[in-house]
């Protein structure tokens, strides 16, 4: 779908992304008994994504496993939102592609913001 636009040409997913997506796939397979998300509205999926993110936010650093699980679930809901949007808006518009481009490219190595 997006490969047809050539924007991912020659790109390999980062090692970190490959690791996380394997965990995401594991969680999805654990829930294969549920109906597919394509029949769920984007707003309902976004609500569930928000709920999982809020759940992760409430967990402390000492609850690492539960925090990671909530983060993986949040990522899966985010994927479902995007997947359902792409299904309804095929092929993706240039407006979407342009909106995904970074507007604030740093001049040097910036650190990840941590509060």
pLDDT on residue 63: 82
pLDDT on residue 105: 63
Three-state SS for 21-75 is HHHHHHHHHHCCCCCCHHHCCHHHHHHHHHHHHHHHHHCCHHHHHHHHHHHHHHH
Tens place of pLDDT for every residue, the chain, 115 residues?
565 656 667 778 889 999 999 999 999 999 999 999 999 999 999 999 999 999 988 887 788 899 999 999 999 999 999 999 988 886 666 777 777 777 766 665 556 555 5
| H or E element at residue 80 | helix 64-88
pLDDT on residue 53: 94
Distance CA 4, CA 64 (A): 39
pLDDT on residue 89: 80
pLDDT on residue 100: 77
Handedness of CA 82, 84, 86, 89 (dihedral sign): negative
């Amino acid at each position: 779908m997006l490969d047809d636009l050539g924007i991912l040409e020659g790109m390999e997913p980062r090692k970190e992304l490959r690791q996380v997506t394997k965990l995401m796939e594991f969680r999805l397979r654990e829930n294969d008994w549920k109906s597919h998300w394509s029949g769920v509205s984007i707003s309902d999926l976004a609500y569930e994504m928000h709920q999982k993110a809020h759940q992760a936010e409430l967990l402390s650093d000492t609850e690492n496993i539960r925090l990671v699980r909530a983060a993986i679930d949040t990522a899966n809901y985010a994927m479902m939102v995007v997947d359902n949007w792409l299904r309804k808006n095929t092929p993706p518009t240039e407006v979407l592609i342009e909106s995904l481009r970074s507007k604030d490219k740093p001049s040097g190595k910036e650190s990840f913001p941590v509060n």
